[in-house]
Amino acid sequence: MFQHETLENGVRLLTAHQDEAPSATALVMFGVGSRFETPEQCGIAHFAEHMFFKGTERRPTARDISVEIDGIGGDFNAFTGKEYTGYYVKCAAEHLTLAVDVLADMLLQSKFDGEEIEREKGVILEEMAMYRDLPQRYVGNVYDELLYGDTPLGWDIVGTEDVIKGADRDLFRSFIDRWYTANRVVVGLAGNVSAEAKAKVSESFLDIGAANEGTRATAQWSQDGPQVKLHHKDSEQAHLLLGVRAPGLDSSDRYAIGVMNAILGGGMSSRLFTEIRERRGLCYYVYSHHDAYTDAGSMVVAAGVDTNRIDLAITTILEELDKLAKEGPDDAEFQKAKNYLKGKFVLGVEDPRGLIMFGARREVVEDGYWEPKQALDAIDAVSMDDVRRVARELFSSEQRNLAVVGPFDDQERFEKLLAPATAAV
């Protein structure tokens, strides 16, 4: 399904041509995110994402850029993660060449005008305040800091107020010139892709910075027992993340963990949803996920619970982890979990944007794209024994981690709940 090419300067072009597709997507993804920052740059990867939309010599203002994409009815956005950053336009296939031209112009010719930087600081600071006011999201920051401490993986992607307020053009250029280079970019085209659009990629991305050496900070942590971190917020509901350290994307167990996760907290028939919400009514939402970076990760349960019954919610989650580790799944839920994962994956890659996101992310982060069939085959290859083994290995009572946003200050109270004697695995 994918065609892979490497341009003369090292830029990779990944194409998924679909003759009958009425739409197409142009995606530019860099294998660079907030994990590549120094303390003096904390938040600059995300801030730069905003600034790329603010004007070039050919399109001097943000409006000039947005008018072109609005004029073709395109869907235009960007995202910053800890290990990658992406910019995309989804549009009618006939306009794909223009979409490539706009993205290349933004990413290679942005002005980073001083007045625009000053204006955008206010936007970033308001975004920062918004996330702090959303406990369901902010608890993720608390959990990352608990797990990874004062390292790039533990920092908030949005950054710190001091760095944002002090940012200037030189700070942006020092980060972009260092990391936005030919060896770290994948351009993806999917849908009804024309030869003209592919030629535009080859023409437009020749001016990107030359390849250089260097990579992200190494994951670092140490843990001798259960860990708890609280963020006090007066609220009617408490939001928690309860998890254990888990392998990253480089692990051969990633798909076994995926199947186990589907059994535990994937969908409305999962163990956690059935027991904690449907049977006990302890929460509004509960789910689990494998939060994985290249070389590090965590298996996490997320829930929004009644503040008066948070202790019961935590012990019930621990009981479900314990049960899965000791007994493993039954045949029916094992097969259901595999079908659930395959179904979700197929739905995710059925349109051009989802398809190229899948291919480009693997290529840029893991240095090698997969065909969709390879992912489906990897799910099929997971055995019942694999799921039992990873459940036993991960749910160690000594490695539990709990982050809570809610009206609580007594850390010792929660440490006792996580202690091995409470729910030994």
| Residues 68-127 pLDDT 10s | 999 999 999 999 999 999 999 999 999 999 999 999 999 999 999 999 999 999 999 999
Residue type for position 47? F
Nearest to 316 by CA among 299, 303, 335: 303
Q: Which helix (H) or strand (E) holds 229?
A: strand 227-232
Cα gap 311→413, rounded to integer Å: 9
CATH (domain of 160): 3.30.830.10
Cα gap 81→36, rounded to integer Å: 11
Domain boundary at 173, 207, 241, which? 207
CA angle 247, 250, 254 (to 5 degrees): 55
194 and 234 part of one domain: no
Q: Which helix (H) or strand (E) holds 203?
A: helix 195-204
What is the side-by-side strand order in the sheet with 237-246? 227-232, 400-406, 237-246, 297-306, 283-292
Cα gap 316→264, rounded to integer Å: 13
Q: pLDDT tens-digit profile of 365-399?
A: 998 999 999 999 999 999 999 999 999 999 976 78
Alpha carbon distances (Å) from 247 to 152, 182, 253, 258, 400: 18, 29, 8, 12, 15
Domain boundary at 155, 175, 207, which? 207
Domain presence at residue 277: yes
Domain boundary at 175, 207, 239, which? 207
Domain presence at residue 411: yes
214 compared with 270, residue with greater pLDDT: 270
> Which domain range does residue 389 map to?
227-418
Q: What is the pLDDT of residue 423?
A: 45
Residue 53, Cβ neighbours under 10 Å: how many? 17
Length of the chain, please?
Answer: 425
Nearest to 34 by CA among 188, 115, 144, 182: 144
Cα gap 205→177, rounded to integer Å: 15
Q: What is the pLDDT of residue 74?
A: 97
Q: What is the pLDDT of residue 207?
A: 87
158 and 234 part of one domain: no
174 and 110 part of one domain: yes
Concerning whether 203 is annotated as a catalytic residue, the answer is no
Per-residue pLDDT band for 422 (boundaries 50, 70, 90) equals: very low
Asked whether the predicted pLDDT for residue 425 surpasses 70, the reply is no
154 and 234 part of one domain: no
Domain presence at residue 219: no
Domain presence at residue 269: yes
52 and 90 part of one domain: yes
Residue 34 structure tokens: 């907030």
Domain presence at residue 221: no
364 and 314 part of one domain: yes
173 and 249 part of one domain: no
Q: How confident is the model over 193-206, as a mean pLDDT?
A: 96
102 and 177 part of one domain: yes
- Buried b / exposed e along 22-47 (16+ C-beta atoms within 10 A): ebbbbbbbbbbbbbbbeeebbbbbbb
Q: What is the pLDDT of residue 141?
A: 97
143 and 237 part of one domain: no
Q: How many CA atoms lie within 13 Å of 115's alpha carbon, on the beta-carbon side?
A: 4
Domain presence at residue 212: no
Task: Say which of 5, 8, 40, 49 is annotated catalytic.
Answer: 49
Provide, for the chain, the percentages of residues in helix, strand and coil under a 3-state DSSP scheme, each rounded to the nearest 5.
50, 20, 30
Q: What is the pLDDT of residue 401?
A: 97
What is the count of structural domains for the chain?
A: 2
Asked whether the predicted pLDDT for residue 148 surpasses 70, the reply is yes
Nearest to 293 by CA among 254, 263, 267: 254
Cα gap 365→345, rounded to integer Å: 19
Beta strands in 293-333 (DSSP E): 297-306
Domain presence at residue 217: no
Domain presence at residue 316: yes
Q: pLDDT tens-digit profile of 4-53?
A: 999 999 999 999 999 989 999 999 999 999 999 999 999 999 999 999 99
Residue 410, Cβ neighbours under 10 Å: how many? 10
CA angle 51, 54, 58 (to 5 degrees): 125
Residue type for position 116? E
267 and 136 part of one domain: no
Indicate the Cα dihedral angle 416, 270, 380, 249, nearest 10°.
Answer: -40
The average confidence (pLDDT) of the chain is: 95
129 and 243 part of one domain: no
67 and 132 part of one domain: yes
Cα Rg of the chain, angstroms: 23
Alpha carbon distances (Å) from 377 to 25, 258, 361: 26, 13, 19
**Is residue 52 classed exposed, middle or buried when 0-12, 13-18 and 19+ CB atoms within 10 A define those classes?**
buried
